[in-house]
Amino acid sequence: MTVAGFLAAAVPMALASPYVPAGDSTVLERVAARSELMRLAPLRAAVVTAPADLEAALSLATGYIDLGRRNNDPRFIAYAQATLLPWLARLQPPERVLVLQAITLQYLHQFDAALGLLDRALALEPLDAQAWLTRASLLELRGDYAAARRACARLVRTADAFSALTCLASVAGRNGQLTPSYTALSAPADLDPRLPRALRAWRLAVVAEMAERLGDDRAAEAALRGALRIADDDPYAKAAYADLLLRTGRPRDVLALLAGNEAQDPLLLRLTIAAHRVGSPEGPRWMHAYEARLRAAELDGDSTHQREQALYMLEVRGDPVAALELARRNWAMQREPADLRIYARAAAGAHSAADCAQLAHWIAQAHYEDRALRLTQECELPQGSP
C-alpha cells in the first residue's frame, strides 16, 4: 500500500470536519477518572518536586496502573511507564520498579519483555510475592503450565495460603486436574469477607472459568455474578459474563448487563454481537463504531486485539476464514480458554482440518478439559472427561 493508501485510510478517522462548538457550556469530553486523578495529584506533585523519592514514584505508578485496569485505558498504563522511566534509566533499577514495569508490559501484551524484567527482579529479591504471581499468570496465559506451577509454588512461602491455592489450582485446572482443582476452590466458606475484595473477585473468576469448562453454566454464572458484586466495574469479569451469556443464547441479557459501557472496546464488541443476534436497532451504530476503532488500531500497528477481532469477524461479519487467520496468530501469543474457543470455532467454521489437528494435539498433550468446546463438533476435538 502506498502513502496515498495509508492516507486514504487515515482521513476517515475524523468523523466530521473541525467546528466551533455551539456555546461555552457545551460539554466536549467527560473525564471518567476525574476524582481518582485528583486523588493522585499530590503524588504527582511529589514525584515532580522530589524525583529521588522512590516510594512516591511507586505509589503513583501503582495508582495509574489501577486506573488503567479499571477504565480499560492504556493511557494510564503509559503514564505509569513515564513515572517509572527515570528509575529504569538507572544502572541498577530498584527491584519494585522492575516489577511494576513488567506489569505495564504485560498489559501492553509485551510478554517476553515482561518476563525478562520479572526474572531480573526475582534475581534481586527472590521473596517478592507480587513478582512470582505476575510471572505465574503470564506463564499460565502462555500455556507453560509446568513453569507456571513452579511460580505459584513460590507463593506458598512468600504470600498467603489463599493466594497460593488459587494460583496452583488455576494452573492445575487447565492442565489435567480440572475436577479436583474445582472442588478445592469452590467451597464458598473459603470466601471470608475480611479478605481483600480483589482477592475474592480473582478467586470467583477462576472458579467461574472452571465451572464453565466443566459444563456447569449455572455455577459459572453464580460465580461471575459474585465477582461483579464485589468489583462492579471490573471489565474483565463483565466481558467473561457477557461471553457466557452469548454462548448460552442470552444476547438480551448482554444488552442489559453492558448498557452504557460502549466506551470500552471489548464491551462494545459484546454489545455489537448481542445486538446483531437479536436485530436490535442499536446494532448498526455499534458495529460502525467498533469498525472505526478496529481501523484506528490497525493504523497504529496495534495487534493486541487479535482475539477480539477474530470474534468480530466470526460473529458479526460471518467471515470464518478471516477469523481463523486472526485466531491462529492470537493463539501463537496466548492460550487462555477464550483463545482456544475462538480458534476452535473459527477452524470449524473455515473447515480447516490442519488447525483442528493442531488444536487437538495441544489439548491432548496439555490434558486440557473444556466442555464448552463440544459446540464445535466439526472440529472433532478430544474431550477430557470431567
Tell whether residue 249 is a contact of other proteins (CB under 8 A): no
Is the distance from CB of 74 to CB of 107 less than 8 angstroms?
yes
Tell whether residue 260 is a contact of other proteins (CB under 8 A): no
In order of 54, 58, 80, 117, the CA distances from 92 in angstroms are: 13, 16, 19, 12
How far is CA 344 from its chain centroid?
19
Tell whether residue 134 is a contact of other proteins (CB under 8 A): yes
Closest CA to 221 of 246, 198, 189, 258: 246
Is the distance from CB of 196 to CB of 215 less than 8 angstroms?
no
Q: Which range of residues in 23-31, 174-182, 215-223, 358-366 is near other proteins by CB under 8 A?
A: 23-31
Tell whether residue 193 is a contact of other proteins (CB under 8 A): no
Tell whether residue 317 is a contact of other proteins (CB under 8 A): no
Tell whether residue 205 is a contact of other proteins (CB under 8 A): yes
Which residue in this structure is represented by grid cell 489501577?
A: 66
Tell whether residue 78 is a contact of other proteins (CB under 8 A): yes
The residue among 77 and 214 lying less far from other proteins, judged by its C-beta, is 77
- Out of 26, 49, 377, 385, point to the residue binding other proteins (CB under 8 A): 26
Contacts of 174 (CB under 8 A, 6+ apart): 140, 145, 337, 366, 368
Shortest distance, position 380 Cβ to other proteins, whole Å: 26
Q: Which range of residues in 128-136, 179-187, 277-285, 370-378 is near other proteins by CB under 8 A?
A: 128-136
Is the distance from CB of 156 to CB of 164 less than 8 angstroms?
yes
Shortest distance, position 83 Cβ to other proteins, whole Å: 9
Tell whether residue 192 is a contact of other proteins (CB under 8 A): no
The per-residue b/e assignment along 312-344, b for 16 or more CB within 10 angstroms, e otherwise, is: bbbbbeebbebbbbbbbebbeebbbbbbbbbbb
Contacts of 125 (CB under 8 A, 6+ apart): 95, 131
Tell whether residue 181 is a contact of other proteins (CB under 8 A): no
Tell whether residue 168 is a contact of other proteins (CB under 8 A): no
- Out of 43, 56, 60, 81, point to the residue binding other proteins (CB under 8 A): 81
Given CA atoms 205, 211, 215, 218 in this order, what sign does their dihedral have? negative
Looking at residue 188, the DSSP 8-state letter turns out to be G
Tell whether residue 302 is a contact of other proteins (CB under 8 A): yes
- Out of 94, 226, 235, 283, point to the residue binding other proteins (CB under 8 A): 235
Please work out the total of residues on this chain that contact other proteins, with binding judged by CB under 8 A: 97
Shortest distance, position 125 Cβ to other proteins, whole Å: 11
Shortest distance, position 159 Cβ to other proteins, whole Å: 6
Is the distance from CB of 118 to CB of 101 less than 8 angstroms?
no
